[in-house]
């Protein structure tokens, strides 16, 4: 029987070798081959196991932790607790995130915004730390001066800022002191001789801290009217002529009043931050207005919130895997084309900072020497006498029961 070309005996068996006596000679090669075939499945199994072991060593364990995070958020609602009324830049950024953030978190939770105003967001921050759930179902958005307030107002603060790790920040934001054009002030040096009325919210807000610092460290002649319910209420008072000036985030001004600024109806006279806003390269920073080294240190300490900007905080003791998922999801969102297009429509600047960098800034602020903190704290005194609106909730009169 002929063989097919190229088959090399695979189709036709090769006759066994015979001894001189005519008995078959045992072929040791065949015997070894048969043993190899019997043991082949075991060898394959061992080889596969070795490959898997190497792969796991290189790539790490299977994503059980990621699955746990996904299982937690799947079908759930993630709440963003904003420490201000439903207006202004804090809520604007939170609402922007509510439309996109869920897509970048494992489990794709629904995202909503909840407002809790009071004391420059200290009411919400205290609630977030001491009452709110710590499982990651709620994140916070509070004043960028959180760490500064912890040192300045220890009697009002019921939290440690380092216990609320940052998830990420949308953008650094410098507060800008804006003056109504008819107030007769064109630049900061004018308020050293001319008194103007400045509005503010609560003691923990930058709208109080910054003007108060300018009064104590730079000699600005401000009459403060405090107690407004958020920046939007202040700006309404500014437009109506009830106050002459207001310190608010540049993001708030550019979102709602950019046209008025371009037309000269509102005049920026100073910004507060460590570095100048990219859009305001010629507007002086608060700490640049003095050559006194100690005053500069105090003013820089008070200005550190500008570098933090509008960011999200995670709750105290959050599981590290959930924190990692929230952080990576936040940064992914800020690179998303649909998110960026939405932000552009809202005039919301996006220049993100990672949570780890924000945590480092918080620790830096809290490490400020006590002597500088003490002087800064002293300069903040006097809030109660400046609070002229909504300083205390009126007591409700009890209705008399009809006899």
For residues 157 and 110, state if they share a domain.
yes
* pLDDT of 112: 99
66 band by pLDDT with thresholds 50, 70 and 90? low
Q: Which residues contact 137 (CB under 8 A, 6 or more apart)?
A: 76, 77, 78, 79
Res 57 pLDDT > 50: no
Is there a domain that residue 39 lies in?
A: no
* pLDDT of 32: 53
* pLDDT of 147: 94
Query: CA dihedral in degrees (112, 114, 115, 116; nearest 10)?
Result: -160
* pLDDT of 255: 84
> Taking residues 97-106, what's their average pLDDT?
99
The sign one gets for the Cα dihedral 259, 116, 306, 333 is negative
For residues 340 and 351, state if they share a domain.
yes
* Residue 272, domain extent: 175-306
What is the distance between the terminal CA atoms of the chain, rounded to a whole angstrom? 123
For residues 71 and 179, state if they share a domain.
no
Could you report the per-residue pLDDT of 337-394, keeping only the tens digit for each?
A: 999 999 999 999 999 999 999 999 999 999 999 999 999 998 887 656 666 655 443 3
Is there a domain that residue 402 lies in?
A: no
* pLDDT of 13: 41
For residues 279 and 358, state if they share a domain.
no
Query: What is the Cα–Cα distance from 311 to 282, expressed in whole angstroms?
Result: 26
Query: What is the Cα–Cα distance from 167 to 328, expressed in whole angstroms?
Result: 9
For residues 117 and 184, state if they share a domain.
no
Is there a domain that residue 205 lies in?
A: yes
**pTM score over 0.85:** no
For residues 261 and 339, state if they share a domain.
no
For residues 190 and 101, state if they share a domain.
no
Highest mean pLDDT among 61-75, 93-107, 235-249: 93-107
How much of the chain, in percent, has pLDDT values that exceed 70?
Answer: 78
Is there a domain that residue 390 lies in?
A: no
For residues 218 and 237, state if they share a domain.
yes
Last residue of a domain, one of 268, 285, 306: 306
Could you report the per-residue pLDDT of 290-336, keeping only the tens digit for each?
A: 999 999 999 999 999 999 999 999 999 999 999 999 999 999 999 99
Give how far the C-alpha of residue 57 lies from the chain's centroid of Cα atoms, to the nearest Å. 34
Is there a domain that residue 46 lies in?
A: no
CA distances from 292 to 107, 218, 305, 309 (A): 54, 10, 22, 27
* pLDDT of 88: 83
Which CATH number characterizes residue 94's domain? 3.40.190.150
Is there a domain that residue 298 lies in?
A: yes
Contact by Cβ (8 Å): 175, 261: no
> Taking residues 102-130, what's their average pLDDT?
96
Query: What is the Cα–Cα distance from 142 to 150, expressed in whole angstroms?
Result: 13
Last residue of a domain, one of 266, 287, 306: 306
268 band by pLDDT with thresholds 50, 70 and 90? very high
The 3 state secondary structure assigned to the chain is CCCCCCCCCCCCCCCCCECCCCCECCCHHHHHHHHHHHHHHHHHHHHHHHHHHHHHHHHCCCCHHHHHHHHHHCCCEEEEEECCCCCHHHHHHHHHHHCCHHHHCCCCCEEEEEECCCHHHHHHHHHHHHCCCCCCCEEEECCCCHHHHHHHCCCCCCCCHHHCCEEEECCCCCEEEEEEHHHCCCCHHHHHCCCEEEEECCCCCHHHHHHHHHHHHHCCCEEEEECCCCHHHHHHHHHHCCCCEEEEEHHHHHHHCHHHHHCCCEEEEEECCCCCCCCCCCCCEHHHHCCCHHHHHHHHHHHCHHHHCCEEECCCCCCHHHHHHHHHHHHHHCCCHHHHHHHHHCCCCCCCEEHHHHHHHHHHHHCCCHHHHHHHHHHCCCHHHHECCCCCCCCCCCCCCCC
Query: What is the Cα–Cα distance from 201 to 227, expressed in whole angstroms?
Result: 5
For residues 282 and 322, state if they share a domain.
no
Is there a domain that residue 72 lies in?
A: yes
Which CATH number characterizes residue 217's domain? 3.40.190.10
The domain total for the chain is: 2
For residues 139 and 190, state if they share a domain.
no
* pLDDT of 42: 56
> Taking residues 207-216, what's their average pLDDT?
93
* 22-36, 108-122, 289-303: range with lowest mean pLDDT: 22-36
56 band by pLDDT with thresholds 50, 70 and 90? very low
For residues 339 and 264, state if they share a domain.
no
Tracing tokens 């999200």 back to the chain, one arrives at 312
For residue 326, the tally of other CB atoms under 10 A from its CB is: 25
Query: What is the Cα–Cα distance from 307 to 206, expressed in whole angstroms?
Result: 13
45 band by pLDDT with thresholds 50, 70 and 90? low
For residues 277 and 298, state if they share a domain.
yes
* pLDDT of 204: 72
Res 129 pLDDT > 80: yes
* pLDDT of 65: 65
201 band by pLDDT with thresholds 50, 70 and 90? confident
Last residue of a domain, one of 306, 327, 354: 306
Is there a domain that residue 60 lies in?
A: no
* pLDDT of 20: 46
Nearest to 102 by CA among 81, 79, 135, 68: 79
């Amino acid at each position: 029987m002929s063989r097919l070309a190229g088959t090399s005996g695979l189709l036709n068996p090769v006759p066994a070798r015979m001894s001189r006596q005519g008995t078959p000679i045992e072929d040791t090669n065949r015997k070894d081959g048969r043993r190899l075939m019997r043991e082949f499945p075991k060898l394959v199994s061992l080889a596969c196991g070795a490959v898997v072991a190497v792969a796991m060593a290189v790539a790490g364990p299977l994503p059980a932790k990621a699955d746990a995070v996904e299982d937690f958020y799947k079908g759930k609602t993630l709440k963003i607790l904003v420490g201000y009324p439903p207006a202004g830049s804090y809520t604007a950024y939170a609402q922007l995130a509510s439309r996109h953030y869920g897509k970048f978190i494992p489990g794709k939770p629904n995202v909503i915004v909840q407002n809790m105003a009071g004391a420059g967001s200290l009411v919400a921050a205290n609630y977030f730390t001491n009452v709110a759930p710590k499982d990651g179902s709620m994140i916070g958005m509070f004043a960028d001066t959180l760490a500064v307030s912890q040192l300045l107002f220890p009697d009002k603060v019921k939290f440690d800022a380092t216990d609320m790790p940052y998830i990420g920040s949308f953008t650094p934001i410098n507060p800008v002191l804006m003056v109504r054009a008819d107030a007769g002030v064109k630049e900061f040096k004018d308020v050293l001789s001319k008194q103007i009325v400045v509005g503010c919210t609560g003691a923990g807000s930058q709208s109080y801290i910054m003007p108060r610092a300018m009064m104590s460290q730079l000699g600005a002649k401000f009459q403060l009217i405090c107690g407004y319910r958020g920046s939007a209420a202040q700006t309404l008072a500014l437009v109506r002529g009830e106050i002459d000036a207001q310190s608010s985030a540049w993001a708030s001004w550019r979102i709602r009043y950019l046209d008025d600024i371009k037309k000269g109806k509102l005049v920026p006279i100073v910004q507060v931050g460590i570095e100048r806003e990219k859009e305001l390269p010629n507007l002086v920073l608060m700490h640049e207005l003095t050559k006194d080294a100690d005053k500069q240190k105090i003013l820089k300490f008070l200005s550190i919130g500008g570098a933090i900007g509008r960011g999200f905080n995670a709750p105290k003791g959050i599981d590290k895997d959930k924190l990692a998922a929230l952080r990576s999801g936040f940064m992914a969102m800020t690179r998303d084309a649909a998110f960026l297009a939405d932000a552009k429509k809202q005039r919301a600047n996006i220049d993100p900072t990672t949570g780890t960098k924000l945590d480092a800034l918080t620790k830096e602020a809290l490490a400020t020497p006590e002597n500088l903190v003490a002087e800064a704290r002293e300069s903040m005194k006097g809030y109660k006498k400046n609070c002229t609106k909504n300083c205390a909730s009126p007591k409700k009169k009890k209705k008399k029961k009809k006899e």
